[in-house]
Amino acid sequence: MSDAPAIELKGISKAFGPVQANKDISIRVMPGTIHGIIGENGAGKSTLMSILYGFYKADSGQVFINGKETTIPDSQAAIAAGIGMVFQHFKLVENFTVLENVVLGAEEGGRLMPSLSKARKLLTELADEYELNVDPDKKIEDIGVGMQQRVEILKALYRKAEILILDEPTGVLTPSEADHLFRILKGLKDEGKTIILITHKLREIMDVTDTVSVMRRGEMTATVKTKETSPEHLAELMVGRKVLLRVDKKPATPYAKVLEVKNLRVKDDAGVERLKGVSLDVHGGEIVGIAGVAGNGQSELLEVLGGYRKAKGNVMINGEPIDLTGRKSDGQSRRAKGIAHVPEDRHREGLILDFQAWENIAFGYHNDPAYQKNRWLMDNRAIRQDTADKMKRFDVRPPNPHLTAKNFSGGNQQKIVLAREIERNPELLLVGQPTRGVDIGAIEFIHQQLVALRDRGKAILLVSVELDEIMSLADRIIVMFDGQIMGERIAGQTDERELGLLMAGVTDTGRSPLAQGSTGAMRVGNPGRGA
Amino acid sequence: EPALIFDLGGKFDKSFNEAAFNGAQRWAEETGGTFREIELTSEAQREQALRRFAEAGANPVVMTGFAFGSVLDEVAPDYPDTKFAIIDMVVDQPNVRSVVFNEHEGSFLVGMMAGLKTESGTVGFIGGMDIPLIRKFACGYAQGVVAANPDATVIANMTGTTPAAWNDPVKGGELTKAQISQGADIVYAAAGGTGVGVLQAAADEGIFSIGVDSNQNYLHPGSVLTSMLKRVDVAVYEAMSQGTDLETGFNVMGLANYGVGVALDENNEAIVSYDMLAQVYAAADKIVSGEMMVHDYMSDDSCPALEF
Amino acid sequence: MDVMPKWADALLIPLISILIAFAISAGVIVAIGEDPVAALNTMVTGALGSSYGWGYTLYYTTNFIFTGLAVAVAFHARMFNIGGEGQAMLGGVGVALVCLFIPFPHWILALPVALIGGALFGAAWAAIPAYLQAKRGSHIVITTIMFNFIAGSLLVFLLVEVLKPAGAMDPATAKFPEGTHLPTFQDMFSFGEKPAFRGAPANVTFFIALLSCFAVWLLIWRTRLGYAIRAYGHSEPAALYAGISPTRIIMIAMLISGGLSGMMAINAVMGEAERLVLNSVEGAGFIGIAVALMGRSHPLGVLLAALLFGFLYQGGAELSLWTNVPRELIVVIQALVILFTGALDNMVRIPLEKLFLMFRRKSPEPATTVVKPAE
Amino acid sequence: MDFLTFLQISDTAVRFAIPLLFACLAGLFSERAGIFDIGLEGKMLAAAFFSAAIAALTGNVWIGLLAGIGASMALSIIHGLASITFRGNQLISGVAINFLAAGLTVLIAQDWFRQGGRTPSLSDFGPNARFNSITLPYADQMQDAGPLGLVYAELISGHSILVYVGFLMVPLTWYILFRTRFGLRLRAVGENPAAVDTAGVSVVGLRYAAVAICGILCGMAGAYLATGLQAGFVKDMSSGRGFIALAALIFAKWRPWYALWACLLFGFLQAMALRPDAVERLVQIDIPGQLLDALPYILTVVILAGFVGKAIPPRAGGEPYVKER
Ligand SMILES: Nc1ncnc2c1ncn2[C@@H]1O[C@H](COP(=O)(O)OP(=O)(O)OP(=O)(O)O)[C@@H](O)[C@H]1O
Ligand SMILES: Nc1ncnc2c1ncn2[C@@H]1O[C@H](COP(=O)(O)OP(=O)(O)OP(=O)(O)O)[C@@H](O)[C@H]1O
Ligand SMILES: [Mg+2]
Ligand SMILES: [Mg+2]
């Protein structure tokens, strides 16, 4: 092993049209180490790694591999240089087998059969060596995400990668799967391989990395030794100022029951049950937070309550049952009942990115009589006026109703959605990931607005994968795992450790809905397939 | 300056439209005159072409094909000073000359030749678009076949029911092969451009074919038994010669006035026997003299010799 | 962030694309040994040089407005309706049935009923592909292509076996009765001695087409339904979230689209031929694609593009009448327009965007762009 | 329907199926690589014209075939530019290509031959100007050697070389797609181009290769029409065959062997439409020819609707591969 860095990037810049994703970035990673990269959403982490892997071309900058300057025009060159990458969004061919996916691009010779049988042998060897068990003949679409990730890692190893990049590998994993992954990574490191790990989770950084780099707004703000830093310090580096983690709020004063959910069951398009009999209720004047690893049924719960997924079971709003399957099971009917919804993904659902702000303010409420000029025509002027008012109240910048939604920054886009939903003064507000990809200043504002709505006596059901957010915002916390409710806690009376166990499907017998009639031992459930 | 409008099959269909073109060409060569012409490529152009020629002072305006009928009926009164000639259709307007042919008579004669020539006892007919006019060809042909050879069978197929049937040699070829496999050793094509495919297939498969409208004997010498001449060229030539004094009204061209007939030339003299010719001429004489009647399908929409 | 100002996107790009298409067309004319300037001259005088020429140009324009609007409405719901041809054929059947079997005393009565007949039949023909798309996920493009062919066969069957008057040779219906005769421009605008628009087929339907443009504009940009259609077109998951039913939008958008295609028959069948002939649509359904693409799916754009194609059609007919350039030249031009405004859009857009980006990087933030939130 | 009639209809069906088969396999390569192609019709038409025109001008059908393939390839490249390089809408590009071919063939034909948009008959240019039918050895003797002999003589023998090539294309396509490295990558690029890209293989290169193969096969389809089935080009001679091939492709669920059966079925339907007499004798009712004409399309719609086995297109089909927005 030489002492030249395994990877050295110098002055890397990359722009996507008008967006400067990477600005003059330099970084050194020593061989045989695990190097973490953290940064907010959109900070440019994936872009930087994709450049290293030859997926994108940098506008300028140099790459040195093991001290030698290397040009990486495409992924073929990166593979040749010994780099392997597991992308944030897997790059697998769904209806190919594991084996075919592994060989793809690394076949030997023009005929397929010989390279397949050769690969099969090698694959079993690799799988044994690294505890990466997969059935080579299963189709990708038939295996879970954890398994798919193994295939991605196997792909890299099959190509004899010495440098392995993993982009947010644990986002879709359960804690135990994540632990397994980190064991594997440590094993690889011990063999002298170099690993770059991108993650949002400071805990993981602290646990497994040797050094860590922080990115902000396309720039590399710092690189530090993990041992010499703390989570608080990293968080500060990430957002550029001191982080205030607690929300200022008075204790809740719950009123009558607003939402009552009984035995809700949902199947997805593939027929897999995603909600397996969920029951919960939310009172006016309280925020109920739902915690859980992404893909354990929280999204489906919001979708059912928001009216765009059909389900079985009973749901009542202020004592009135709502339609879960019939003609009145759509979003319009939900809104008529006083349910507002801030969806998890503002780009996919919450906004029409090509609509202007004022059209987005009417979105979902376009049938509101106040927005109509007469029976036939909409009153666009009224909508624009209303929009201007709402934008002012929610401090949307710039407060221009004619600006197209995609031209607002993430935080301001989210404020538009919140303004639209909260200003309706709904009986029940469903909120999914309200601060995903939003900077700290906006987070504070958004949290204040939610608390204010609560204090007006309205019910709020909050779903978030950020445990911190749940803990600071919710009055009551419900933990979901594999489509079921694992347990319920009062916010002030629990801690991250306890919630983390529940999120992993480990439940104590006393309070679990699952445990009734069971022997009372600790149970570990199986994770469902991730979204 | 006269004008000539070709129907959808196009000027060079080797058949109907080409005959018209030849007539106009002959007129141009003999008189040194010039004429305007247009090949229609779409249905909607019909009326436009008529009007534009009339407007531009072309006179007479000659058009080939029954499909002009209803359009001309409408346009003609708008241009009372222009004379029109239409072939294959009767249009009752004071400034229109309607030329129709006794195709059944000519078809009868080629039918006789087929009946005399056939060895298998089965002969075929391939029509273009399935309209009464083409059935008239088929019916005359079948009568001729049976007259010469009472035991013979006639198989008749139409290419289609739309104008596309005039221009589908692929289908024509396949129909021919189908008829050959049913035993036919002579096929008569009355199908415009589709006939090219019929004659080609017949030549490829080594059987005889009969051409139509123009003299098509030269297309595959030794394979085309004869052609049923429909003297569209004469009709066009006459119309153009009469010029602005075009005699309007109804004009029938039959065997009697050399409007239809059979084609004999060096390309088919080897395959047509003297005896055959003698019988055909005799029949022609009888038809002209009125001694023999060939049934016209279009007179009562029925055919004594063939079922459709 | 928008790289280009709106006007560049809406006007500059189509304009450059059309110029490229025309330049290549001129090249084609040269290649077949003709003079493009003379050709253009013939086309302009033939199509725009007389009231007669205008009468044809506007007749074609009317057809293309309907089919262009049809494609545009479907585009707004992000559906590519290639079935305009078949829907217009069926619209023709509807119009013909109405005109043949209801004895109308006057066209004022006949027109609205025939309009409904045409629109209903056209819409019905669009309904099946729409249903299959909405409920069974069958790709609308493929099903509408198939339905064009099925419509063709159906029309032949109807004309040959059912509607053809006995003894007639054309596969066409009988002439419509006098009471259904729509006033042509000649009827409407001939004052004094010399008739204007003599013999040209443009008729009162043109004004219905203009009204339709306005109606579609209102529908798309001023009504809740239009809002829902556009929202669905931009994002299906978002529409679902907002409680907009995809099935409903797909069905309604396609029914409107098919109805508009069907209404074309008023012009071509009732206004011009006054009987249903086999080929009354003549590819107008396909031209609608070009028209909608060029017009950026905006009714005003559709109107202008339809006018351009109306000119091309009439000009092309004149060209083939007086010169040796076959009418297929228009087909080539049409193909090039579709190619450059539709499929090769990015060929013009990418360099242009780079240009604007360069310009913007050099100059300080122009007033229209985003202000980054201050923190 | 007696056996001989059946054989004869089948014989016609084979000839009708071959252009469909070439075009269908062409579409299969393209669509398996994620490039939808509704321009099969146009490519076939262009190839039909250029093969006939060049065969007429040179008197050599093989040169004609090359010219046809060249013309079809040229259109393929336009389609590639539009849908791969410039990431345009593949359907719109296909529509444009169909029009381009319909217009240009007539325009050029008129310019070159002045026969109203057709080429002169190839039989005027000597025996080598078109593909003649080949009588297989002993075909004549086998005629009377029982039903199998009859099948050999009537159905198997007596087609032009391109027919046999067409049938050979089916196993060849299967082999290339499922047994070679190229095939694996080609199928992958139609399912998930990002996977191919990150595996270090050029998406653009693969897709152009697929589009080029599509061009070659469409070229053979067109050449067969004009120089094998017929002896010359007439305007619009593909008459919707490209779309029937597309229908067959969907019907076959994008698989080569199924494609063969689908094309034979559709060819058979077309052949039956030519023989209303035989059909009527067979089913005892008078089926309108138009119904037979429309049947391939109707069947395809039924398949598309998923009532009889769902046809799932390649997942990345129709979408340009966009790495950077
Ligand atoms: N393919 C692309 N085309 C255009 N812009 C892109 C593309 N990929 C990323 N961007 C933009 O570049 C910026 C950096 O994105 P990148 O994906 O690198 O962020 P990230 O740090 O990985 O964020 P996350 O934590 O959400 O994964 C963002 O503004 C993003 O919108
Ligand atoms: N994918 C993209 N395509 C086009 N423009 C983008 C894209 N992503 C971001 N932008 C532009 O970049 C700007 C910054 O967006 P981004 O979401 O990264 O902001 P931010 O700094 O994270 O702000 P906020 O803190 O409010 O989220 C926005 O104004 C937006 O116009
Ligand atoms: Mg990322
Ligand atoms: Mg942001």
B45 touches chain C (CB under 8 A): yes
What is the pLDDT at residue D308? Answer: 64
Share of chain C above pLDDT 90, in %: 58
What is the pLDDT at residue B186? Answer: 96
A171 CB near ligand 1 (under 6 Å): no
Output the CA torsion sign for D186, D191, D194, D199: negative
- Which chains have at least 3 CB atom pairs separated by less than 8 Å from chain D? A, B, C
DSSP string, A73-132: SSHHHHHHTTEEEE-SS----TTSBHHHHHHTT---SSBHHHHHHHHHHHHHHHHHHHT-
A406 and A365 part of one domain: yes
For residues D179 and A274, what is the distance between their CA atoms, to the nearest angstrom? 39
A100 and A67 part of one domain: yes
pLDDT in tens, C93-146: 999 999 999 999 999 999 999 999 999 999 999 999 999 999 888 888 889 988
What is the pLDDT at residue B38? Answer: 85
**Of the candidates A425, A452, A482, which is a domain's last residue?**
A425
- What is the position in ligand 1's atom list of the atom closest to the CA of A39? 21
pLDDT in tens, C314-362: 998 888 887 878 888 888 988 998 899 888 988 998 888 888 888 876 6
D202 touches chain A (CB under 8 A): yes
Taking CB atoms and an 8 Å limit, are C334 and D99 in contact across chains? yes
Q: Which of A409, A433, A530, A426 minimizes the C-alpha distance to A481?
A: A530
The set of long-range contacts for A391-398, using a CB threshold of 8 Å and a minimum separation of 24, is: A391/A357, A391/A416, A391/A419, A393/A419, A393/A423, A394/A418, A394/A419, A394/A423, A394/A445, A394/A449, A395/A445, A396/A357, A397/C371, A397/C373, A397/C374, A398/C370, A398/C371, A398/C373
Q: Do chains C and B touch (3 or more CB pairs under 8 A)?
A: yes
Interface test with D, best of B5, B37, B170, B180 (most D CBs within 10 A): B170
pLDDT in tens, D90-126: 988 998 999 999 999 999 998 898 877 788 888 888 8
CATH for D3-130+145-304? 1.10.3470
**Of the candidates A370, A401, A425, which is a domain's last residue?**
A425
* Sheet with B249-253: strands ordered across: B36-39, B3-6, B61-64, B84-87, B96-101, B249-253
Q: Which residues of chain B are modeled with pLDDT < 70?
A: 41-44
pLDDT digit string (tens) for chain A, length 531 residues: 457 889 999 999 998 877 788 999 999 999 999 999 987 767 888 889 999 998 888 999 999 999 889 999 888 899 999 999 998 788 999 999 999 999 998 888 889 999 899 999 988 888 888 878 888 999 998 887 778 888 998 999 899 899 999 988 876 676 667 788 888 899 899 989 999 998 877 778 888 999 999 988 888 888 999 998 887 788 777 766 665 556 677 888 888 899 999 999 998 877 788 899 999 999 999 999 998 877 788 889 999 999 988 899 999 999 899 988 888 888 899 999 999 999 988 888 999 989 999 999 999 999 999 999 998 899 999 999 999 999 999 988 888 999 999 888 777 898 999 999 999 999 999 999 888 767 666 777 888 899 999 999 999 999 987 777 888 899 999 999 888 998 899 988 888 778 878 887 776 544 444 433 333 333 333 333 333
C1 touches chain A (CB under 8 A): yes
Q: Is residue A189 part of a domain?
A: yes
pLDDT in tens, B248-282: 899 999 999 889 999 999 999 999 999 999 999 99
Taking CB atoms and an 8 Å limit, are D118 and B12 in contact across chains? yes
Taking CB atoms and an 8 Å limit, are A107 and D192 in contact across chains? no
Residue A189's domain comprises 7-239
Closest CA of chain D from B261, distance in Å: 26
A104 touches chain D (CB under 8 A): yes
Amino acid at A321: P
- Take residue A498 and report the two structure tokens written for it: 């306890």
Closest CA of chain D from C151, distance in Å: 9
Pocket test for ligand 2, best of A23, A397, A409 (most atoms within 8 A of CB): A409
Taking CB atoms and an 8 Å limit, are C345 and D240 in contact across chains? no
ipTM of the complex: 0.83
Residues whose beta carbon lies within 6 Å of some atom of ligand 2: A 19, 42, 407, 409-412, 437-439, 442; C 1, 370, 373; D 325
What is the pLDDT at residue A146? Answer: 79
Amino acid at A442: A
A285 and A380 part of one domain: no
The set of long-range contacts for D286-294, using a CB threshold of 8 Å and a minimum separation of 24, is: D288/C157, D288/C161, D289/B160, D289/B161, D290/B161, D290/C153, D290/C154, D290/C156, D290/C157, D290/C160, D291/C153, D291/C157, D293/C149, D293/C153, D293/C156, D294/C149, D294/C150, D294/C152, D294/C153, D294/C154
Q: Which of B126, B202, B140 minimizes the C-alpha distance to B168?
A: B126
A14 and A156 part of one domain: yes
What is this structure's pTM?
0.86
Would the pLDDT of D26 be above 90?
Answer: yes
- Domains of chain C in sequence order: 35-323 (1.10.3470)
- What is the position in ligand 2's atom list of the atom closest to the CA of C375? 25
Taking CB atoms and an 8 Å limit, are C320 and B38 in contact across chains? yes
Of C293, C328, C342, the CB nearest to D103: C328
SS3 (DSSP) at A269:
coil
3-state helix, strand, coil in chain A (%, to 5): 35, 25, 40
List the 370-389 stretch of A: residues with Cβ below 8 A of D: none
Of D82, D98, D243, the CB nearest to C344: D82
Between the CA of C373 and the centroid of ligand 3 the distance, in Å, is 22
Between the CA of A223 and the centroid of ligand 2 the distance, in Å, is 25
Q: Using 50, 70 and 90 to split pLDDT, how confident is the model at C374?
A: very low
Q: Is residue A109 part of a domain?
A: yes
A184 and A281 part of one domain: no
A322 and A373 part of one domain: no
SS3 (DSSP) at D180:
strand
Share of chain D above pLDDT 70, in %: 98
The owner of tokens 């193969």 is D213
State how many domains chain A has.
Answer: 3
Would you call A3 exposed, middle or buried from its count of C-beta atoms within 10 A (0-12, 13-18, 19+)? exposed
- Take residue C288 and report the two structure tokens written for it: 């609608």
Give, as residue ranges, everything with CB less than 5 Å from ion ligand 4.
Answer: A 42, 410, 437
State the ligand closest to the CA atom of C373. 2
A409 and A514 part of one domain: no
For residues B146 and B286, what is the distance between their CA atoms, to the nearest angstrom? 16
A274 and A153 part of one domain: no
What is the pLDDT at residue A20? Answer: 84
What is the pLDDT at residue B301? Answer: 84
Q: What is the CATH number of the domain that holds A103?
A: 3.40.50.300
Between the CA of D81 and the centroid of ligand 1 the distance, in Å, is 27
C-alpha distances in angstroms, A1 versus A31, A197, B59, C16? 8, 21, 99, 59
CB of C164 closer than 8 Å to CB of C275: no
**Of the candidates A425, A443, A458, which is a domain's last residue?**
A425
